[in-house]
Amino acid sequence: MDHSRSASTQPSSAPDGRPVYVIGAGPGGLAAAYALRARGIRAVVLEKTDGVGASWRGHYDRLRLHTTRRLSGLPGLKIPRKYGRWVARDDVVRYLEKYAEHHELEIVTGVEVFRVERSGDGTGWLLHASGGRELTGSAVVVATGYNHTPRLPGWPGGEGYTGELLHSGDYREAGPYTGRDVLVVGIGNTGAEIAVDLVEGGAARVRLAVRTAPHILRRSTLGWAAQYTGVLVRRLPVGLVDRLAGPLAKASVPDLAAHGLPRPDTGLYSRVKQGAIPVQDVGLVDAVRGGRVEIVAAVEAFEGGKVVLADGTRISPDAVIAATGYSPALESLVGHLDVLDGRGRPLVHGGRAPAPAPGLYFTGFTNPISGMFREMALDAGRIARAVAGQLRPQQ
């Protein structure tokens, strides 16, 4: 899918003919490409797979956006009303395809970028890509995604475990687990939702291994989406939001301490700032209260075909699904540029370029309570403004 246009509609490149390269054709990359093009700057999106929205295509079947349709649209094209308030995975993919087509974005598929470095003259960027390609751009937007490389903890004995062990990224639907005993590891939004999916899909037993009890929010209360609150409080002091969120949670979500999920002793927004996003309830609370999802201690190791939990319990599930998150895996791409923090995440994002790397931008590597799609839409405009300002002195 290489969306090309006639020369008459082509935005201009930098004066030396170099375009801005956007790495990744997910929502963040597409939004950035549109915003750049809207400012008359040629943006070429490089995508390693054969289509847009690759990570969305790979998610489990029942996934929906946890943010509202109205606040999840990318700049220049609303998400169709017919997709409903909580947009399903397949409709997100359709929307991204329509977005690329509607805006006539210049997307080159089947091209993977391995390394980004300063160009020889120091005024731009050199991209080393598949097929021996060497591409020179005036600026680079890295939008390879939050959910890039599945992360499996290095559990002792894990490599020799003979049972079925898979990352949640490889889970699609509950059919293969009907009548089986399944352990889900990790209570982020993915783990919580997969546990509910398994229960509803007929798994015989579902246990959910939890290391740290999360904050749990209703996705919507009396029609008011949790995202709306996230948008409203985003700029408030962390301590104030923590104090406001406590009573709200107690009023809307029942106490699950008796079922192994006590309320966290740290504030909701404090945890968000540390990278722990609240779990939006899509059936977990009722499943836990009804005993259909059993909360167990964290996984410590695998031993002789059994799973060893932190409390010393040994269990023998038929399958273990590790909802243990992803790594952005940016080290080989840009790690040599001194632009990543200790966790491998970009030091800055949006319209700010790292001090050592002017002209290098990142989008889609934060997961704010106000909504990732909304943040990427805002980032796109900031990046386009910054790039336009950067190129202006050259013109």
Q: What is the tens place of the pLDDT at every residue in 156-199?
A: 998 888 889 999 999 999 999 999 999 999 988 899 999 999 99
Same domain, 287 and 306: yes
Per residue in 284-325, pLDDT tens? 999 999 999 999 999 999 998 899 999 999 999 999 999 998
pLDDT for the residue numbered 244:
67
Q: pLDDT grade, residue 232 (50/70/90)?
A: low
pLDDT for the residue numbered 333:
96
Does the residue 371 lie in any domain?
Answer: yes
Does the residue 2 lie in any domain?
Answer: no
Q: Among the three residues 322, 339, 362, which one is the final residue of a domain in this structure?
A: 322
Same domain, 341 and 360: yes
Same domain, 11 and 140: yes
Same domain, 242 and 200: yes
The C-alpha R_g of the chain, in whole angstroms, comes to: 22
Range in 77-81, 102-106, 262-266, 309-313 with the lowest mean pLDDT: 262-266
DSSP 177: G
Q: Note down the domain range covering 316.
A: 151-322
Same domain, 20 and 160: no
Same domain, 388 and 313: no
What does DSSP say about strands 299-303 and 306-309: parallel, antiparallel, or unpaired?
antiparallel
- Whole-prediction pTM: 0.86
Does the residue 341 lie in any domain?
Answer: yes
pLDDT for the residue numbered 228:
52
The tally of domains found in the chain comes to 2
In one-letter notation, the amino acid at residue 22 is V
Q: Say how far apart CA 26 and CA 58 lie, in whole Å.
A: 12
Q: Among the three residues 279, 297, 322, which one is the final residue of a domain in this structure?
A: 322
Nearest to 373 by CA among 141, 96, 186, 105: 96
Residue 238 scores a pLDDT above 80:
no
* H or E element at residue 387: helix 372-391
Encode 130-153: b = buried (16+ Cβ within 10 Å), e = exposed: eeeeebbbbbbbbbbbbbbebeee
Q: pLDDT grade, residue 7 (50/70/90)?
A: very low
Does the residue 209 lie in any domain?
Answer: yes
Same domain, 266 and 177: yes
Residue 121 scores a pLDDT above 90:
no
| Domain of residue 366, CATH code | 3.50.50.60
Q: Among the three residues 322, 344, 362, which one is the final residue of a domain in this structure?
A: 322
Percent helix, strand and coil across the chain, each to the nearest 5 = 30, 25, 45
Nearest to 139 by CA among 347, 377, 370, 359: 359
